[in-house]
Amino acid sequence: MKKYILLFLITISFVSCQKQTATEKKVDTDVVSPKSSLDYVGIYKGILPCPDCQGIETEIAINENTTFSIKTKYLKKGNKVFVQKGHFTWNKKGDVIILTDINYGHNKYLVGKNKLTQLDSSGKIYADNLDDEYILSKQPSDNSTIETAEENNKETVDLNSRIATTTVIEKVNPAVGKYPLAGTKWKLVSLSKKKVDQKGKNVYYMKLNSKDGRFVALSGCNNILGHYVMPSSTTLTFSGIVSNKLDCADMELESYFFTALAETHSYKLDKETLTLFGADKKQLANFLVFK
C-alpha cells in the first residue's frame, strides 16, 4: 500500500513540474517583443495611401542609435522629396516605434518581421488596411548603421525647418515695408512676368497662416490649400498642394498658378509687393497687397 501511495505522489509531482515548465515557457514567449527579438534596424520602403494623390512614396531609415530619417514624395504632385530626421522611442510593449521629432505626417509604426505598418494617430491599425496598403518593406542591406543619403538638390525640402517657422515669422521681419508675408492677403498680378487680368468677382489671391503653417489661395473658382515652410527670411516652399478641381473659366491660368506655387524656392518683399522665385532665381509670380 505504501508503495502505491509513494508512486502516486511521484506521479503528481512529475505532472506538476511539467505544468510549471509549460507555464514558464508560455510567460517567456509572451514577453518577447520585436524590440528585443527582431533585427529592426534598416531601410523600409513602400507607397502609402494618400487621400488626394496617387500615393505617398515613403522611405524610412531606422538606425541602431535610435535615430531615424524619413523621405516622402507625393506621386503626380511634382518631384519634391520631403525629408525629416530625428529620434524614435518604443511603446511599453516594445512593438511600436514612435518618431518623436516628426512634425509633419504620421509618427507611429508597428514593427513586424521585415516590415513596418503605419498606424493611425491613436496608434491603431487602420480599419481599411485589408490589402496591407499601409506596409513598408525592409530593404536588403549589409550596413550595420544605416542613414539615408542626403539629397542635395533643389527638389529636396527639409521639413525639420518647420520647427522654426513660427520663430522666424515672429522674430524676423522679412518685409521691407509694413506688410508681413504671413497674415497678409496677397492679390496675384502676374505669372512669369505676364500680367494677370482679374476678371469677374473671384480674385486670384493667396494668404499664409503662421499659426499652423498652412496657406489658402483662390484661383478663379477653385480653392487651393496646402502647407508652407519658411526656413529663413528669404526662402519659401509650398507642399501638399491640392485644389477642389472645379471646371473654371480659365483652367490654363489656374494651372500656371498651381505650378508657380509648387516650384517656389524663395521670395522677396518690397513695400506692398510680394515676388516668388524658383530655385534658378527665375520670377514665378508677383502679388500686391489685397486691400
**pLDDT value of position 96:** 94
**Rounded distance between C-alpha atoms, residue 112 and residue 60, angstroms:** 14
Cell numbers for 238, please give them: 509650398
C-alpha closest to that of 117 among 167, 60, 166, 50: 60
**pLDDT value of position 116:** 94
Q: Look at 131 and 230; give whichever has higher pLDDT.
A: 230
Q: What is the mean pLDDT of the chain?
A: 75
- Which helix (H) or strand (E) segment is 191 a member of? strand 185-191
Residue 55 CB contacts under 8 Å (≥ 6 apart), including other chains: 47, 48, 49, 75
Dihedral angle at the C-alpha atoms of 229, 234, 235, 241, nearest 10 degrees? 50
**pLDDT > 70? residue 55:** yes
pLDDT in tens, 236-254: 889 888 877 666 666 677 7
**Rounded distance between C-alpha atoms, residue 280 and residue 234, angstroms:** 14
**pLDDT value of position 20:** 45
Cβ atoms within 10 Å of 276's Cβ, excluding its own:
24
**pLDDT value of position 31:** 46
CATH number of 159-289: 2.40.128.270
**Rounded distance between C-alpha atoms, residue 223 and residue 267, angstroms:** 22
* Region(s) of the chain under CATH 2.40.128.640: 37-152
Over residues 20-25, mean pLDDT: 42
Cell numbers for 290, please give them: 489685397
**Rounded distance between C-alpha atoms, residue 122 and residue 146, angstroms:** 28
Over residues 194-222, mean pLDDT: 80
pLDDT tier at 175, thresholds 50, 70, 90: very low
The β-bridge relationship of strands 81-90 and 156-158 is: parallel
CB 48 within 8 A of CB 58: yes
Q: Cα 166 to chain center, whole Å? A: 18
**pLDDT value of position 11:** 54
**pLDDT > 90? residue 85:** no
Tell me the pTM.
Answer: 0.47
**pLDDT > 80? residue 113:** yes
The residue type of 157 is V
Counting every residue, how long is the chain? 291
**pLDDT value of position 23:** 41
**pLDDT value of position 285:** 94
CATH number 3.40.50.300 is the correct assignment for the domain at 37-152: no
**pLDDT value of position 194:** 83
- Please provide residue 2's backbone torsions phi and psi, each rounded to the nearest 5 degrees: -65, -35
DSSP tag of 255:
H
Over residues 184-196, mean pLDDT: 88
**pLDDT value of position 2:** 52
**pLDDT > 80? residue 176:** no
**pLDDT value of position 65:** 80
* Region(s) of the chain under CATH 2.40.128.270: 159-289
CB 110 within 8 A of CB 21: no
pLDDT tier at 6, thresholds 50, 70, 90: low
pLDDT tier at 284, thresholds 50, 70, 90: very high
CB 162 within 8 A of CB 231: no
